[in-house]
Amino acid sequence: MADVRPFCGIRYNLTGVSELDKLITQPYDRITPEMRQRYLASPYNFVRLTLPEGKNSYEQSAATCAKWLEKDVLVRDSKPGIYVYHEEFKISNVHKIRKSFIGVLRVEEFEKGTVLPHERTLSGPKVDRLDLLRATHKDYEQIFLLYPDPLHEIDTIWETSGEPDFQATDEYGIIHKVWAITDPEKLKAVHEKMADKVLLIADGHHRYETALGFRKEMEKKNPDLPLDAALRFKTCAFVNEADPGLVVLPIHRMIQKLPELDWDEKLAHIREFFQVKRIKTADAATELNRNRNTHAFVLHFGKDRTYLLRLLDPSCIDKYTSPERSPAYRRLDVTVLHALLIENILGIRPEQAEKHIKYEHECHDAIAKVDSGKFQACVLVNPTKVEQVQKLARQGERMPQKSTDFYPKLISGLVFFDIETTEKV
């Protein structure tokens, strides 16, 4: 059973600080050093809380948050509510709105079947986020969950009218609008409607597992922790799987630090499995999109060395994947990419991935980083389909790490949650 509840959010007091545009940030794991420096131009930017740096950085975040609350830079809403959240953006020159609502969800083990993961996670980010939680007892960022509602019954509860309670435009031109809903009847209705939903983590696996680990840790310290204790819950942005604004982008693979890499030799090996066609580098994205309904990739390993790879025989992947894997898993582009190209041909074993593989979200950036010599090669991929993610998650299978990029990201700094041990929801 999904236990979704309203909460008393903490947010910026917009009568006491500058415009919200200068205070919000991208999620902590998408902030580059250059972006962080730009954010720090504002003395109250959210990066000072969610991504502190320096000695005792986590304690510094806790102290900063306490100071801002004391000075009314941040204020806590007096009534529990659900925060309806719209993101307005353009993709391929098409205007879209992704609709969601922010509430708190009772954190449960994956084995209970209420919340399903779809990707494997790395240990490093979880350690960082857990240390921040321990120091601050604040849930700064939401995770992105999908729920099934083909008839849009929950959407009708949140029919919005009038101006949002607050809004901001981020550095990419995406407009973020929020309405705080405190009507008890609406809050009760969404709690009841969500109760039978099975939820899928679209983005935020590390944060969910961190929240779960923190809850277990605090239960050991506080055996009598009440069932409605705030730290048993995690803030989430809930998005309908049927929302027309739901977009998934690809995550391209960047190859580095491989010794004795002979690309002519590798191309000969690649031709055993793929039809190989040399293409113009400028046509990489177009060619990839044109072949989106086949297992196709673009390999780029130097100036004007760009190749379209199309899998010759999809059944060949069976030899290179575990027999325990489902047919749906074996037919994923990322499965073909990792099992055939990355592991079999390039020789990068799964345990070596963190050393040899990095990730890039933009085609032109991936190519530019190879041409500059920062990376040896890049492999450009098509996006995973939402229905593939849903099917595998419900089968209990996790996709390879970094298989999906739901766009746009949830912005940080709109609203967050106090999870002190004395807090309840």
Residue 425 located in a structural domain: no
Same domain, residue pair 284 and 353? yes
- Is pLDDT of 27 > 70? yes
The model's pLDDT over 257-312, given as tens digits with 9 standing for 90+, comes to 999 899 999 999 999 999 999 999 999 999 999 999 999 999 999 999 999 999 99
Per the structure, the count of domains in the chain is 2
Residue 395 located in a structural domain: no
pLDDT at position 122 is 64
Same domain, residue pair 56 and 122? yes
- Is pLDDT of 120 > 80? no
Same domain, residue pair 33 and 68? yes
Residue 392 located in a structural domain: no
Same domain, residue pair 114 and 23? yes
Mean pLDDT, range 92-113, rounded to an integer: 96
Same domain, residue pair 284 and 175? no
pTM of this prediction exceeds 0.85: yes
- Select from 298, 271, 268 the least CA-distant residue to 363: 298
Q: Which string of DSSP letters, residue by residue, matches 215-270?
A: HHHHHHH-TT--TTBGGGEEEEEEEETT-TT-EEE--EEEE---SS--HHHHHHHH
Q: Which residues of 207-230 are buried (b: 16+ CB within 10 A; e: fewer)?
A: bbbbbbbbbeebeeeeeeeeeebb
Same domain, residue pair 54 and 202? yes
Same domain, residue pair 187 and 267? no
Rounded to a whole number of angstroms, the CA Rg of the chain reads: 23
Cβ-contact 385, 404 below 8 angstroms: no
Same domain, residue pair 24 and 148? yes
* Residue 105 to residue 155: CA distance in whole angstroms: 18
Residue 341 located in a structural domain: yes
* Residue 297 to residue 309: CA distance in whole angstroms: 5
Residue 402 located in a structural domain: no
Query: What range defines the domain where residue 258 resides?
Result: 251-382
CA atoms within 13 A on the CB side of 371: 12
Same domain, residue pair 177 and 281? no
Same domain, residue pair 34 and 68? yes
Two tokens at 275? 């039809």
Tell me which residue has tokens 């994923």: 332
The model's pLDDT over 160-212, given as tens digits with 9 standing for 90+, comes to 668 999 999 999 999 999 999 999 999 999 999 999 999 999 999 889 999 99
Same domain, residue pair 20 and 105? yes
With residues binned 3-state (H G I as helix, E B as strand, rest as coil), the percentages for the chain, rounded to 5, are 35, 25, 40
Residue that wins the pLDDT comparison between 402 and 51? 51
